[in-house]
Structure 1
């Protein structure tokens, strides 16, 4: 799923779908925020944030006023249609002692081959690594056949208590020394499945 396409002409964007999604997510509390504040929270420059806001304004996902930017009902509706849930994890074995962000993607396990593709997407986005877990027949499986329920019940319990899981769901755990990069990596991998 691409939220924003690359421009046909001119320089490429210095931001990704993660930044657009994160902007909507930050605004989802209904508060008005300034461009500078959004840029700091999302982790982009003000010029990139200006482009993101303009794109979202054209789609009628945000309302832009002198007092700041606010998400619209159409923007909230769009955000809720993206089948992604995000949770920050405490450092554990699965995060190799680093900051961890787990992203659940509903009903997309058929898109996962070996999990290496998701790891590569996460690393390309700045994370140190990622682990992909699919829910198959009620079991948490790291592709191809590593059964977390049998071999690491502590981690399986942690993930089950973090998300409401169903067969066909995918969990991607991004990890990094920087929590924003862990989140960016996990979400980049998740967007590749949509």
Structure 2
């Protein structure tokens, strides 16, 4: 899924669809926030954030005030139409996740598009993360593609995912990890948008 038509806006912008999504997502979790603080949380420069906010204002997805920026009803509605959910998981069952910031995203009903999870891992890495793990829900079981049953080697991991993510059959969980949260988020969201 592409959020931003690069042809319309030109190649000069130095941000991704994930930065745009993360901006809307972060605004949806806060009442009002300043541009500088928002840029820090999204992990981009203030100039890029200014460009993102100009685009979102043009689309009527944000409202600006003297106190800062907030998401509009149209922005919240648009965000709700994208079939992905950011979930708060703190996973430590794999050595790769130790001392790493993590971002986990559930992509709704996308398991038919997953082959072995390598494409999602590669998208995470190309987007600035250190790596990514893809997990699918099939027949009420969590699997690492193509068919490794996750409960066999880490039942605590499965319990954490099951209780925190509310996944249904056909859903995909992408866990991206990096030194900084915004890099992990960029990886997870780009991998998720690649599936939509």
TM-score by length of 1: 0.91
Question: Which whole-Å deviations, capped at 9, do the CAs of 1:108-153 have from their partners, x for residues lacking one?
Answer: 1111121100000000111111110111111111111111123322
SS in structure 2 at match of 1:22: helix
Distance 2:102 2:154 in 1: 17
In the alignment, is residue 35 of structure 1 matched against residue 38 of structure 2? no
Task: Give me the whole-angstrom Cα distance separating, in 2, the residues matched to 1:77 and 1:10.
Answer: 26
**Aligned residue number for residue 131 of structure 1:** 133
The question of whether the paired residues in 2 share the 8 Å contact of 1:27 and 1:70 is answered with yes
**2:194 aligns to what?**
192
Please tell me the root mean square deviation across aligned C-alpha atoms, in Å. Answer: 1.8
| Partner of residue 172, structure 1 | 174
CA contact (8 A) 2:22 2:42 kept: yes
Query: 2:30, 2:161 → 1: CA distance?
Result: 29
The within-5 A match list for 1:84-123 is 84-94=84-94, 95-97=96-98, 98-123=100-125
Q: Are the aligned partners of 2:62 and 2:72 in contact in 1 as well (CA < 8 Å)?
A: yes
8 Å CA contact 1:130–1:175 kept in 2: the answer is yes
**Is contact 2:91–2:160 with CA below 8 Å preserved after alignment?**
no
Gaps of 5+ in 1: none
Higher relative contact order (CA 8 A, sep 6+): 2
1:73–1:30 Cα change, 3 Å: farther
Instruction: Tell me the residue number matched to 1:58.
Output: 58
Give the number of equivalent residue pairs: 194
Distance in 1, Cα, partners of 2:131 & 2:45: 25
Q: Tell me by how many angstroms 1:7 deviates.
A: 3.8
**In structure 2, distance between residues paired with 1:10 and 1:103:** 29
Asked if 2 retains the 8 angstrom alpha-carbon contact of 1:90 and 1:99, the reply is no
Q: Residues 28-54 of structure 1: CA distance to partner in whole angstroms, max 9, x if unpaired?
A: 146232222221221111111111011
- Structure 2 unmatched runs, 5+: none
4+ runs deviating over 6 angstroms: none
Superposition deviation, residue 90 in structure 1: 3.0
- Indicate conservation of the 8 Å contact 1:100/1:175, yes or no: yes
Alignment partners' CA distance in 2, 1:63 and 1:183: 24
